[in-house]
A = this chain, B = another copy of it.
Amino acid sequence: MKRRNYTCGLDAAVDVMGGKWKALILWALQDGPLRFAEVRREVPGISERMLILSLRELGSAGLVHREDYREVPPKVEYSLTGFGRSLLAAMVPLGEWGEQNMAELEGLPRT
């Protein structure tokens, strides 16, 4: 979430879930709460830094809830909020489109 004045709903939606990681994190959380390290395993290639930054953005957008169990050793769980679930539902067709066309997209020449 970076901007404020959106020209349309699509603009706003892409702003909130765009970028390299956020959609994948939402996707990873769809089957229930995950701990920090678990999310990391579900999103291959992400660094701790990008994970925490992305989780915080998703949190302040109201899409993800952070539950700190205040234990030692630390235990923190991340889960989708209702708002996050509604966004995830809206992303499903996009995911299916990508699934069906991945081969084509991966075969493109580099720009």
Residues of A in contact with B (beta carbons under 8 Å apart) = 1-2, 4-19, 23-24, 27, 43-45, 56-57, 60-62, 83, 86-87, 89-102, 104-106, 108-109, 111
Give, as a whole number of angstroms, the nearest-CB distance from A66 to chain B: 14
**Which label, helix, strand, loop or mixed, suits the secondary structure of the A interface?**
helix
Residue of B whose beta carbon sits closest to that of A14: B23
Give, as a whole number of angstroms, the nearest-CB distance from A15 to chain B: 8
Whether the pair A98, B13 counts as a contact (CB closer than 8 A) is yes
Assembly CA distance A19 to B2 (angstroms): 12
Question: B residues within 8 A CB of A111?
Answer: 1-2, 56-57, 60
Question: B residues within 8 A CB of A99?
Answer: 8-9, 12
Among A14, A15, A92, A96, chain B packs the most CB atoms within 10 A around the CB of A14
Question: B residues within 8 A CB of A106?
Answer: 4-6, 12
Whether the pair A95, B24 counts as a contact (CB closer than 8 A) is no
Give, as a whole number of angstroms, the nearest-CB distance from A52 to chain B: 12
